[in-house]
Structure 1
Amino acid sequence: MFDERWSAEAFEVATAVRSMLEGKCDESVVRAAEAAEDGLAPEVEKQLRSFGAYDLPNEPELLAAVSMELGRALAPVPWAEVAAVRAALGVEDAAYALDVAPPYGPGSAVVPTSSGLGLVANVGPRERTAAGDVLVRIDDAAPETRWGGDDARRLRALMRLLAAARVAGAASKLVEIGVAYAGERTAFGRPIGSYQAVSHKLADAAIAAEGAELLVRKTAWLAGREGAGSAPQPIFGIMVWNNAVEAGRQVSRLVHQCMGGFGATLEYPAQLYSRRIRSWALRLGRSGETYREVARILLDPAERDAVTGLWHEEQGLTIPRWARELDLTTNPRE
């Protein structure tokens, strides 16, 4: 049975990472990285390597727990992109670059080929994003295929889980910032958080953030049941990513509505979080494209029946009649 809490090991690792980041990856460090030419925080990277964050075993819960804590701290390091490649392909110092330009820093990048995945040098023109980090526009190359289509699907699903965890962590921290502000800011002699117009928005933001965290834990738990070296099922990778994107955007909108113009000022940390959430949300494809992937899985009997671990049934999906009829209309069988 699914336990909505982290496992004891994942909780211990997450607590240790949060403790390590306190004082070493605060607002001043994030701002300094944003002003740096490479958009990175070398001291944070050093601390993570000393901690062993780049040497964790390929256990989805552990990786997702660490990614969530790094998201809470807005850690200016490409850990998620590197950890996903290392866990899925066993390659060190290579960044994920299947759906977006890779982050600056790692020496190599894993890119899609016509039949799977290839490896190229992570060099090319740099481009700073709204999140303050730097991506590399890799020069056009035709790398040799080193991994097949199944490896690509596994890597993409794992990256979606870690990216969703990062967004969920940032959204959770942004809710805390909004709640603290609502408790300090007064209007008509009372904290603005005592007014329903504000408290209800913050409650909705908290529900969205907690829901995103819950689905991250659910997805990581399901992936862990598949055994060592596993990744989420493709449909769960899509679902957890899309949910995190929608939740992150909702949290950003609601918190900024409660804070008014003050939340958008450069001096306050809220905009650091909302900018990164918005930028991260564009990294792994538009929602419409990924929803089409879900539809293709649902309409393929073999893939549909392989789905396990849903809330309402253990295996397979029941497709409504109208969906089957629509599929036959648009894709007639011989």
Structure 2
Amino acid sequence: MAAAAAEVPNRRVILKRYVTGFPSEDDMEAVAGATHLVVAPGSTAVVLKNLYLSCDPYMRGRMSKHERPSYVPDIVPGEVIVGFGVSKVVASGHPDLKVGDLVWGLTGWEEYTLVPDARSLFKISHSEMPLSYYTGVLGMPGLTAYVGLCEVAKAKKGDSVFVSAASGAVGQIAGQLAKLTGCYVVGSAGSDEKVNLLKTKFGFDDGFNYKKEQDLNAALRRYFPEGIDIYFENVGGAMLDAALLNMRVHGRIAMCGMISEYNLEQPQGARNLSSLIVKRVRMEGFVVSDYFGEYRRFEEDMVGYLKGGKIAYIEDVAEGLEKAPVALIGLFTGRNVGKQLVAVARE
């Protein structure tokens, strides 16, 4: 027990202050710390050694102070930043998790994390897959794409599907799942390099660089002359306004994220909502945690797709915990290509 209870270094990344507007590296800080790799007797807590950390756009919202609670609590200045990650259990009082188990779920941006409630963790069933995949295609972003397309938008063969932020962690999977369903799929991205990936790596039918389009409405009319059946929404703002004008009658919009608005002090709002009435469009927001009960089915399906070469996947890996703030900020300028994650300790 004495060896197990020995104090070990635990470097961590904290939020220094609540963020307004665009986040900066200085809003976060890597600090030294220490912890003990034990859990209290009788506790069901676990201690995790963090291997990979996920950088996700929704984390920006948690860095601001909200008068009205959101679906996830704000991160308090001075406390460690929390997000999804892949970890190894190094101490456990939980009956279903033993030392050495690999898990993914909510953890801290630090080397070791004490998780009091292990219900937020999923044991990794396919350790033969790259563990980093459980921050993305086999983790929260992959599940988000899966339920957003299949459960919320109810994609079917022959649908015309538009995916914004299509080269990102969620978009690249949503578009490929739509292709597997038998849909016509077009994606938008922020560089020619990313658009090329959509068409050559991910198998989209077409794609466009939204930064080169003077008129997004005209661009969507060009790619969808008969209209859009499903819009997988990751961006908001001007892109949503343009998509609303181009929806087909009884179209569906799955509201996954609105990254264009996360750093605005005042939301932009949507001007073309009357299209929902005129075209009888259903627009539904969703939060992936509501669908965690679907995870095991999703995991088996997605592992099969990956092993069968039916889904391609790209990661953008930052090496070292100290790189986490820069990696997260890069999401909002489109610096990353593919799923952004941070390697803390490789197994």
Q: Which interval holds the TM-score relative to the shorter structure?
A: under 0.3
Looking at secondary structure, tell me which structure has more strand per residue. 2
Structure with greater proportional helix content: 1
